[in-house]
């Protein structure tokens, strides 16, 4: 187990910075997810930690050991690849035992550790099968077994679930989380799937264009996005900007093209006359009931039934907003209806 | 009904290729085998006999020829592999000069074997460029006999030079099919350079290695042109010996025996290399 520290890490390809001056401190045993769209630098960061890329600037520390010049084979990390990267010419047993053989672990201990890993991943009885004879889920479990059997200091996951179907993805991510908690191995997990990141992580690092946008636990990332990128990337969000026209204690009134809205300001220090950028979630825009705050009227452009809710696309005097309605509601395109926006739902963005 | 018509047409596609093989190559192999036992003889009475086989196995020159060609086949196939594999690995990964090297190395593909042999003669003959350079540099006092040498190193050198690009094409496509992730996974799990080479690259490229070794063996074992120019004065290669037996001595039946020996040896070496590949990769 290791603490991982990245200090001002930069990695360039052809003079373009894929990772641009990022710093991160991951505690021993912590599960941290690097989340972002493709090309944001999350996989480059992971591969630099593994040693496949040499950083152009900055430092990588495992505990108090500088790792910059240590080759991948000597870093004692274990990586789970998106493609699983099982050795196609070796059976399940030999795949799992590969890292132990490389470390010259005595035969008897190899046998014990591989057998334990097989049992942990419910693979007992499949030792002799070749990777091509396994389903995607089974291959993923072999890849996990192969990674944990070496007792790595840091586990690295590169979008390990993206080749699985939706149901299996949810099941395996629970298994990964349970396994990581039980073994207590520091883990860095890369994904572009926000649901996966929210479900599995102790902390999420949201990345965009090579830099870190926000670091926080899943709840704070979702409920209190710091930037419009985070608000837009994690879940659905209505992102707007307007001018503060009034301030009373901890509330502000914001002027928008379709009217004025009251919002709790929290620790936001903007004054009257300032332009502010803010977001609120579709689930905070609900059908108006007598006495509810921030009443707006909108025309329904699309109403999409999602099972547990109805996803609404509204036109409010020329401004497009997303809203939610209870799944029993009956809406048609072209209907007009009144909605209310929760005053506490406003997140002011940088 | 329509399906059946399509299927007949479909099988007709086989006719030119398979038909040709069966008709000309299959029948000539059949004739060669039967002639070696005295049947279908074109020079004497046709009757079953083991005399031709006995004669060949009691003839020192034929036996020396077989051994010489076997040696050339094995050394050329191993030599080409040893030279081509590192280049194929370099080309897989790339680096400065990759395209230039890839084109340079294809040059021998466009040069016929006989012309190649003459080109190499300029280099390695008794007063060739290599010997003159070594003498000028005071590395040797007397020229080395590299051409028409008794052992056949001159032949091996030309075979290797001539066939590197050919083997490289096969090996490159074999290595290209190995995913980068697979290599990275091995490195990540603690494999150093040698472990990656012998546990990942070699076993995964084994089908290509095997095909190159077998094809190289067949070319060098049955070689006529290169040995006749650069080979030793004695023994001749098995193909040369076969030509001499058939056309100079007019002993077609004995030449047929040598032909059958070439076919059988090739089959045996193919089997041997396959077993060797299984042993190296540890799988069937």
Query: Does the pLDDT of residue B178 top 90, yes or no?
Result: yes
Q: What percent of chain B stands above pLDDT 70? A: 97
**pLDDT, average across residues A153-171:** 90
Looking at mean pLDDT, say which of A161-175, B115-129, B134-148, B191-205 comes out highest: B191-205
In a domain, B89, yes or no: yes
Residue in A87, A146, A155 to test binding to B, most B beta-carbons within 10 Å: A87
Cβ–Cβ < 8 Å for A216, A225: no
Distance from CA of A85 to the nearest CA of B (A): 5
- Is A150 close to B204, i.e. CB distance below 8 A? no
In a domain, B194, yes or no: yes
Cβ–Cβ < 8 Å for A90, B203: no
Identify the CA nearest to A76 among candidates A180, A175, A145, A154. Answer: A154
Cβ–Cβ < 8 Å for A152, A77: yes
Domain range enclosing B156 = 60-113+147-281
Query: Reading across the β-sheet that carries A211-216, which strands appear in turn?
Result: A77-80, A154-158, A186-191, A31-35, A203-208, A211-216
Count how many pairs of residues, chain A against chain B, have C-beta atoms within 8 Å: 65
- The 3-state DSSP class for residue A281 equals coil
In a domain, B19, yes or no: no
Query: Does the pLDDT of residue B3 top 60, yes or no?
Result: no
How many other β-carbons are positioned within 10 Å of the β-carbon of residue B179?
14
Identify the CA nearest to A301 among candidates A289, A276, A319. Answer: A319
Cβ–Cβ < 8 Å for A212, A229: no
Phi-psi region of A205 (alpha: psi -120 to 50; beta: other; left: phi over 0): beta
Distance from CA of B106 to the nearest CA of A (A): 30
B278 and chain A in contact, CB less than 8 A: no
Query: pLDDT confidence of A154, banded at 50, 70, 90?
Result: very high
Distance from CA of B201 to the nearest CA of A (A): 11
- Give the pLDDT score at B146: 77
In a domain, B42, yes or no: no
In a domain, B165, yes or no: yes
Q: Tokens 């837009």 label which residue? A: A232
Q: Give the number of domains in chain B.
A: 1
Cβ–Cβ < 8 Å for A347, A224: yes
In a domain, B151, yes or no: yes
CATH number of the domain within which B73 lies: 1.10.3720.10
- The 3-state DSSP class for residue A331 equals coil
How many other β-carbons are positioned within 10 Å of the β-carbon of residue A107?
10
Residue of A81, A89, A103 lying closest to B185 (CB–CB): A81
Token pair for B283: 């799988």
Distance from CA of A73 to the nearest CA of B (A): 4
pLDDT tens digits along B84-93: 999 899 888 8
Please tell me the least confidently modeled range out of A1-5, B31-35, B94-98: B94-98
Rounded Cα gap, residues A239 and A158, in angstroms: 30
B218 and chain A in contact, CB less than 8 A: no
pLDDT tens digits along B120-162: 788 888 888 888 899 999 988 888 887 778 888 888 988 998 8
Number of residues in chain B: 284
- Is A73 close to B188, i.e. CB distance below 8 A? yes
pTM (2 d.p.): 0.81
- Is B185 close to A50, i.e. CB distance below 8 A? no
By the 10 Å C-beta count (0-12 exposed, 13-18 middle, 19+ buried), A33 is classed as buried
In a domain, B172, yes or no: yes
**pLDDT, average across residues B198-215:** 92
- Is B188 close to A78, i.e. CB distance below 8 A? yes
> Per residue, what are the HEC states of chain B?
CHHHHHHHHHHHCHHHHHHHHHHHHHHHHHHHHHHHCCCCCCCCCCCCCCHHHHHHHCCHHHHHHHHHHHHHHHHHHHHHHHHHHHHHHHHHHCCCCHHHHHHHCCHHHHCCHHHHHHHHHHHHCCCCHHHHHHHHCCCCCCCCCCCCCCCCHHHHHHHHHHHHHHHHHHHHHHHHCCCHHHHHHHHHCCCCHHHHHHHHHHHHCHHHHHHHHHHHHHHHHCCCHHHHHHCCCCCCCHHHHHHHHHHHCCCHHHHHHHHHHHHHHHHHHHHHHHHHHHHHHCCC
In a domain, B222, yes or no: yes
Distance from CA of B89 to the nearest CA of A (A): 18
Residue of B182, B190, B192 lying closest to A85 (CB–CB): B182
Please tell me the least confidently modeled range out of A107-111, B147-151, B261-265: B147-151
By the 10 Å C-beta count (0-12 exposed, 13-18 middle, 19+ buried), A299 is classed as middle
- Is A85 close to B195, i.e. CB distance below 8 A? no
**pLDDT, average across residues B255-282:** 87
Residue of A77, A82, A89 lying closest to B188 (CB–CB): A77
Q: What percent of chain A stands above pLDDT 70? A: 100
Cβ–Cβ < 8 Å for A287, A340: yes
- Chain B residues close to A87, C-beta within 8 Å: 182, 185-186, 200
pLDDT tens digits along A306-343: 999 999 999 999 999 999 998 898 888 899 999 999 99
User: Rounded mean pLDDT of chain A?
Assistant: 93
- Give the pLDDT score at A92: 96
């Amino acid at each position: 187990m290791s603490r991982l520290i990245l200090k001002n890490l930069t990695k360039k390809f052809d003079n373009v910075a894929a990772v641009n001056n990022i710093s991160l401190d991951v505690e021993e045993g912590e599960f941290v997810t690097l989340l972002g769209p493709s090309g944001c630098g999350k996989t480059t960061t992971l591969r630099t930690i593994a040693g496949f890329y040499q950083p152009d600037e900055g430092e990588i520390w495992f505990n108090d050991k500088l790792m910059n010049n240590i080759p991948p084979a000597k870093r004692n990390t274990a990586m789970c690849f998106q493609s699983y990267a099982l050795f196609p010419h070796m059976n399940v047993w030999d795949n799992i035992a590969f890292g132990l053989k490389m470390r010259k672990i005595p035969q008897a201990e190899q046998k014990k550790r591989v057998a334990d890993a097989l049992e942990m991943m419910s693979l007992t009885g499949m030792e002799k099968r070749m990777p091509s004879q396994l389903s995607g889920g089974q291959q993923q479990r072999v890849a996990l077994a192969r990674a944990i059997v070496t007792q790595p200091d840091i586990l690295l996951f590169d979008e390990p679930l993206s080749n699985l179907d939706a149901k299996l993805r949810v099941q395996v991510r629970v298994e990964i989380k349970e396994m990581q908690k039980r073994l207590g191995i520091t883990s860095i997990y890369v994904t572009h799937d926000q649901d996966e990141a929210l479900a599995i992580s102790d902390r999420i690092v949201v990345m965009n264009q090579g830099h870190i946008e926000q670091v926080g636990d899943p709840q704070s990332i979702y409920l209190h996005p710091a930037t419009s990128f985070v608000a837009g990337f994690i879940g659905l969000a209505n992102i707007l900007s307007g001018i503060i026209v009034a301030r009373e204690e901890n509330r502000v009134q914001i002027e928008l093209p379709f009217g004025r809205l009251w919002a709790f300001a929290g620790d936001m220090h903007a004054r009257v006359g300032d332009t502010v950028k803010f977001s609120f979630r579709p689930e905070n825009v609900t059908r108006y009931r007598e006495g509810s705050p921030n009443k707006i009227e909108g025309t329904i452009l699309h109403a999409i039934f999602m099972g547990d809710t109805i996803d609404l696309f509204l036109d409010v005097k020329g401004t497009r907003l997303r809203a939610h309605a209870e799944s029993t509601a009956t809406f048609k395109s072209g209907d007009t209806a009144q909605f209310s926006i929760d005053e506490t739902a406003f997140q002011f963005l940088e | 009904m329509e399906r059946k018509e399509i299927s007949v047409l479909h099988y007709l596609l086989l006719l030119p290729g398979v038909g040709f093989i069966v008709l000309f190559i299959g029948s000539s192999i059949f004739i060669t085998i039967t002639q070696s036992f005295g049947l279908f003889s074109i020079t004497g009475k046709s009757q079953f006999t083991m005399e031709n086989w006995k004669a060949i196995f009691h003839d020192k020159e034929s036996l020396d020829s077989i051994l010489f060609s076997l040696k050339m086949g094995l050394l050329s196939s191993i030599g080409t592999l040893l030279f081509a594999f590192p280049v194929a690995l370099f080309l897989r990964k790339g680096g400065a000069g990759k395209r230039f090297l890839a084109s340079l190395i294809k040059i021998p593909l466009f040069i016929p074997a006989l012309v190649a042999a003459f080109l190499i003669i300029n280099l390695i003959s008794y007063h060739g460029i290599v010997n003159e350079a070594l003498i000028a540099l005071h590395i040797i006092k007397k020229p080395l006999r590299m051409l028409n040498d008794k052992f056949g190193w001159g032949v091996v050198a030309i075979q290797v030079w001539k066939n590197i690009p050919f083997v490289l094409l096969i090996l490159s496509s074999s290595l290209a099919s190995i995913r980068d992730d697979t290599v990275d996974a091995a490195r990540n799990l603690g494999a150093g350079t040698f472990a990656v080479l012998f546990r990942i690259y070699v076993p995964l490229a084994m089908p290509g290695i095997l095909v190159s070794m077998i094809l190289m063996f067949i070319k060098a074992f049955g070689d006529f042109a290169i040995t006749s120019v650069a080979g030793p004065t004695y023994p001749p290669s098995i193909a040369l010996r076969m030509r001499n037996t058939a056309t100079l001595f007019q002993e077609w039946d004995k030449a047929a025996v040598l032909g059958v020996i070439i076919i059988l040896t090739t089959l045996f070496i193919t089997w041997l290399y396959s077993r060797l590949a299984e042993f190296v990769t540890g799988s069937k």
